[in-house]
Structure 1
Amino acid sequence: KSVLEKLYRIDKNVAVVMAMDMLMAGMDTTSATFISTLYFLSKNPEKQEELRKELIALLPEPNMPLTEENTKNMPYLRGCIKETLRFRPIANGNFRIAGRDLVLSGYRVPKGVGVYMATMTLSNSDEYFERSAEFLPERWIKSAKATCPVTQKHNPFVYL
């Protein structure tokens, strides 16, 4: 038996199911984000052209691979992905159970009650993102912070 099997004593069938869940969850979320990014770029040809210019500048040969290393020098690509995740997050919210009695935004929440944070609603609100209905990848580029004031102060969307 492997060390992992000895430590956790997981039934082999359970381990296979868990591994498949993790693999499929990663593939589904990645493909959904990729497809959504392509959709938003197709609806915004000027953004698509901006990304195309960045890609051609950094990958001049058509067969050059896109790697983790060279994407570090692609702020517009990263901005496109972050803006897609703002519009269409992988999870549209977050659920927690109150561990103690507390007050949230003036409402009393007893211990044990479920609290749902609608991140999709927040990330598509003009209160947090100016021109929230527009696909603006440049709002995520550090030099363009003025277009996204929420990045200058407390940011509830730090996962982006």
Structure 2
Amino acid sequence: MACSRPNVSDKGHAFLDRALYFPKSWTDTSERLASAHVPDDIRFATKPSLATTMIEQALAAEVPFSWVAGDSVYGVGDLEISLRRAGKEFVLGVNANHCFHSWRPDVTWVGEAREIIKMLPDEAWIRCSAGHGTRGDRWYDWLYCPMADLQASEIF
């Protein structure tokens, strides 16, 4: 498995970085790593940690990008903090049990994601295509909830 960092613009798209992901069961077994010819310096790292490293390297190299998207594996933690510190926009998924504490002048969200979405009308959901896949069109239901726009220093 891998963690990758593609870049997309009006000029095209390209993969700019990648990192192999090895589960802890692999990195804890030196014989397994050796039989797969994995370099000796490979240590366990979570996918969010790999993604955070790639984003921080892109920032240091001044690679232009405006925003980042990731599923719920990447949704909360160091990656979010790094993006906030860099002033980058992001769309990161969260698990149903993620707890929100967000306040704005117009709306306050407090509670688990699964409970918050029950309070919203069906019309709030939008069905969008994620493109054509090997099994046909990939449709997903999306919901936008405006949250407080916190600075990194306000989170922790």
TM-score under structure 2 length normalisation: 0.24
Determine which structure has the larger strand proportion and give its number. 2
Determine which structure has the larger helix proportion and give its number. 1
Larger radius of gyration: 1
TM-score under structure 1 length normalisation: 0.24
**Which structure carries more relative contact order (alpha carbon 8 Å, separation 6+)?**
1
